């Protein structure tokens, strides 16, 4: 372990050890990473991913951690925060670093009269996280505009197109068996009117502020909707679970598909409540809710 620590310190300047992940997560919950590295450029992200492969060290790359629940015992190996936020436009083609913030990118595109991702203007998180989860809203998803993704997997660089990524509703090959890091992604945009695009983003923000419980930590919707006309929130609400509390975790009283962290919540509370919600919904409706949020460090 001492060798690994030394090598990491030499090769990844600034890497830190036994660092709590809670401050980096939307849930504000989570135990320590064995090693934490902040990759500020794509070259740094590639270097970290390559080194982890060389050292056979478990690697977890996070964007803004708005779709992960980190366990109380933390995450083993190297955790990398992707902060490579560079973007470039070539006509109507956007290239964005995995660490670029989705809302900032989309707002900037709208101001420049470029449409195609405006539905995602208020989805918190990074470009990399959005590709991995095929983030979306209003029946649209970032994968609809994706041209290709530059990845590094097992130390090898590659370019993957949507057909390689098995994109689906809040899912992709990255969430299944593809062990690769998103370094940059390219999106195809179309011309649009800046005013109309910015209005659409503002209307969505206003709607979210009315519906979402922003006062507590959460990852947004905890479960996937079983079907487009069958929201998980309705199933949870119909099962009488709004407000249900386990430890310091609560089914939000404002939005039944948000499992919020009340002050002092542990990851184990959130997980236990989510399991209980899924159990009761299945008992009442026969429908198995599938988590949208990724659990890290629970094994
Ligand atoms: C208030 C709120 C509202 C939300 N609303 C929506 C919504 O409307 N629609 C929606 O789809 N989602 C929504 N979300 C969920 C979340 O914002 C999205 O899933 C977002 O795309 C996650 O991005 P992230 O950077 O935070 O990813 P993270 O949470 O950091 O990571 C998610 C997963 O992707 C992996 N990952 C991240 N970056 C990389 C990379 N560069 N390479 C390889 N793997 C990577 C992580 O290891 C993890 O498994 C909401 C969340 C909140 C808190």
**Is residue 214 one of the residues assigned to a domain?**
no
Confidence (pLDDT) at 271: 98
How many Å apart are CA 150 and CA 34, to the nearest integer?
A: 27
> Are 94 and 78 in the same domain?
no
Ligand 1 mean position, distance from CA 2 (Å): 33
Instruction: Return the best residue to mutate from 27, 99, 132 for the ligand 1 pocket (most ligand atoms within 8 A of CB).
Output: 132
> Are 205 and 252 in the same domain?
no
Query: Which stretches of the chain are assigned E, i.e. beta strand?
Result: 16-20, 32-39, 59-62, 68-70, 75-82, 87-90, 93-97, 114-115, 136-137, 140-141, 146-153, 156-160, 181-188, 190-191, 245-246, 249-251, 259-261, 294-296
**Is residue 221 one of the residues assigned to a domain?**
no
Q: What is the pLDDT of residues 119-166, one digit of tens each?
A: 999 999 999 999 999 999 999 999 999 999 999 998 899 999 999 999
Q: How many domains does the chain have?
A: 3
**Is residue 218 one of the residues assigned to a domain?**
no
Nearest partner of 110 among 181, 199, 30, judged by Cα: 199
Contact 277, 289 (CB under 8 A): yes
* pTM for this prediction: 0.97
> Are 189 and 244 in the same domain?
no
Q: What is the pLDDT of residues 196-206, one digit of tens each?
A: 999 999 999 99
Minimum-distance ligand 1 atom for the alpha carbon of 62 = 30
Q: What is the CATH number of the domain that holds 104?
A: 3.30.465.10
Confidence (pLDDT) at 112: 97
The residue contributing the CA closest to ligand 1 atom 28 is 65
> Are 78 and 93 in the same domain?
no
Q: Is the CB of 260 under 6 A from ligand 1?
A: no
Ligand 1 mean position, distance from CA 6 (Å): 32
Q: Which domain does 205 fall in, by range?
A: 87-209
Q: Is the CB of 143 under 6 A from ligand 1?
A: no
Dihedral, 100, 104, 108, 109 alpha carbons, nearest 10: 70
> Are 275 and 200 in the same domain?
no
Contact 143, 149 (CB under 8 A): no
Residues in the chain where the model's pLDDT stays below 50: none
Catalytic residue among 42, 126, 170, 252: 170
Q: What is the CATH number of the domain that holds 255?
A: 3.90.78.10
């Amino acid at each position: 372990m001492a060798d690994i620590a030394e090598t990491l310190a030499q090769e990844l300047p600034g890497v830190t050890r036994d660092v709590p992940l809670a401050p980096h997560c939307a849930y504000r919950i989570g135990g320590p990473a064995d090693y934490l590295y902040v990759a500020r450029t794509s070259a740094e992200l590639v270097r970290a991913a390559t080194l982890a492969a060389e050292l056979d060290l478990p690697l977890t790359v996070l964007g803004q951690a708005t779709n992960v629940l980190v366990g109380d015992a933390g995450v083993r190996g190297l955790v990398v925060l992707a902060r490579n936020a560079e973007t470039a436009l070539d006509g109507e083609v956007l290239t964005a670093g995995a660490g670029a913030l989705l809302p900032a990118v989309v707002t900037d595109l709208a101001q420049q009269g470029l449409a195609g991702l405006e539905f995602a203007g208020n989805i918190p998180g990074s470009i990399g996280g959005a590709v991995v989860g095929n983030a979306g809203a209003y029946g649209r998803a970032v994968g609809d505009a994706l041209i290709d993704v530059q990845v590094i997997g097992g130390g090898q660089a590659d370019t993957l197109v949507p057909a390689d990524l098995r994109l689906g509703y809040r899912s992709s090959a990255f969430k299944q068996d593809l062990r690769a890091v998103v370094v940059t992604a390219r999106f195809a945009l179309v011309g649009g009117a800046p005013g109309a695009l910015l209005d659409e983003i503002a209307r969505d923000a206003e709607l979210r502020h009315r519906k979402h419980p922003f006062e507590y930590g959460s990852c947004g919707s905890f479960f996937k909707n079983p079907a487009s006309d069958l929201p998980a929130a309705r199933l949870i609400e119909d099962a009488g679970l709004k407000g249900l509390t386990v430890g310091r975790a609560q089914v939000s009283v404002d939005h039944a598909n948000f499992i919020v962290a009340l002050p002092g919540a542990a990851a184990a509370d959130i997980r236990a409540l989510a399991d209980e919600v899924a159990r009761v919904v299945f008992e009442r409706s026969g429908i198995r809710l599938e988590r949208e949020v990724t659990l890290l460090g629970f094994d």
